Amino acid sequence: MKRVPCMEAAVAVLESEGVETVFGIPGAAILPLYAALRTSSIKHITVRHEEGGTHAADGWSRATGKVGVCIGTSGPAGTNMITGLYTALADSIPMICITGQAPRAKLHQEAFQAVDIVEIARPVTKWAVQLKEPAQAPWVFREAFRIAQSGRPGPVLIDLPLDVQRGTCLYDSTVDGPLPIEVPEPQPAAVRAAVEMLLQAEKPLILAGGGVIIANATDELRNLAERLQIPVQTTLMGKGAFPEDHPLFAGMAGIQTQTRWGNAAFLESDLVLAIGARFGDRHTGDLDTYRKGRKFIHVDIEPTQIGKVFEPDLGVVGHARSTLAAMAFQAQEISPPRRSGQWTERVEELRDTLVRRDDFDDTPIKPPRVFREINEFFPAETTFVTAIGLYQIWSGQFQRTFLPRRYLVCGQAGPLGWEVPAAMGVKCAHPERTVVAVAGDYSFQFLMEEVAVAAQYRIPFVIVMINNEYLGLIRQSEIPYDMNFAVDLHYGEGGIDHVKVMDAFGCPARRVERPEDIAGALAWATAESERVQLPVLVEVMVEREANAAMGPSLDAIVEYEPVPDLAPIGQKAS
CB contact at 8 A, 230 and 204? yes
State the pLDDT at residue 573.
39
Taking residues 51-70, what's their average pLDDT? 97
State the pLDDT at residue 390.
87
State the pLDDT at residue 405.
96
Percent of the residues in the chain that have a pLDDT greater than 90, as a whole number: 81
- Asked if 427 and 324 sit in the same domain, the reply is no
Close Cβ partners of 309 (under 8 Å, ≥ 6 residues apart)? 278, 279, 284, 287
For 66-80, write each residue's pLDDT tens digit: 999 999 999 999 999
**Among 175, 197, 217, which residue terminates a domain?**
175
Residues 284-298 as b/e (b if ≥16 CB within 10 A, e otherwise) read bbbeebbbeebbbbb
Q: In 23-75, where does DSSP find H-type helix? A: 31-37, 50-64
Higher pLDDT, 87 or 563: 87
Biggest distance spanned by C-alpha atoms of the chain: 79
Instruction: Name residue 472's amino acid.
Output: G
Taking residues 493-517, what's their average pLDDT? 90
DSSP string, 296-357: EEEEESSGGGTTSSS--SEEEES-HHHHHHHHHHHHHHHSPPP---HHHHHHHHHHHHS---
**Among 129, 147, 175, which residue terminates a domain?**
175
- Asked if 425 and 506 sit in the same domain, the reply is yes
- Asked if 48 and 90 sit in the same domain, the reply is yes
List the single range of 122-131, 231-240, 277-286, 482-491 with lowest mean pLDDT: 482-491
- Asked if 315 and 391 sit in the same domain, the reply is no
Asked whether the predicted pLDDT for residue 472 surpasses 60, the reply is: no
- Asked if 114 and 157 sit in the same domain, the reply is yes
What letter would DSSP give residue 477? -
Asked whether the predicted pLDDT for residue 100 surpasses 60, the reply is: yes
Q: In 204-280, where does DSSP find H-type helix? A: 210-214, 218-228, 260-268
State the pLDDT at residue 482.
56
- Asked if 232 and 311 sit in the same domain, the reply is yes
List 384's β-bridge partners, or say none: 407, 436
Residue 474 pLDDT class (50, 70, 90 cuts): very low
Q: Does any domain span residue 503?
A: yes
Taking residues 344-364, what's their average pLDDT? 92
- Asked if 108 and 49 sit in the same domain, the reply is yes
Q: Does any domain span residue 548?
A: no
State the pLDDT at residue 567.
46
Residue 574 pLDDT class (50, 70, 90 cuts): very low
Close Cβ partners of 228 (under 8 Å, ≥ 6 residues apart)? 198, 199, 204, 331, 335, 338
State the pLDDT at residue 560.
85
Higher pLDDT, 472 or 506: 506
Edge-to-edge strand ranges of the sheet holding 155-161:
43-46, 21-24, 68-72, 95-101, 155-161, 127-130
Instruction: Using alpha carbons, select from 109, 111, 105, 48 the residue that is nearest to residue 74.
Output: 111
For 180-221, write each residue's pLDDT tens digit: 998 899 999 999 999 999 999 999 999 999 999 999 999 999
- Give the range of the structural domain holding residue 11, as residue numbers without chain letter: 3-175
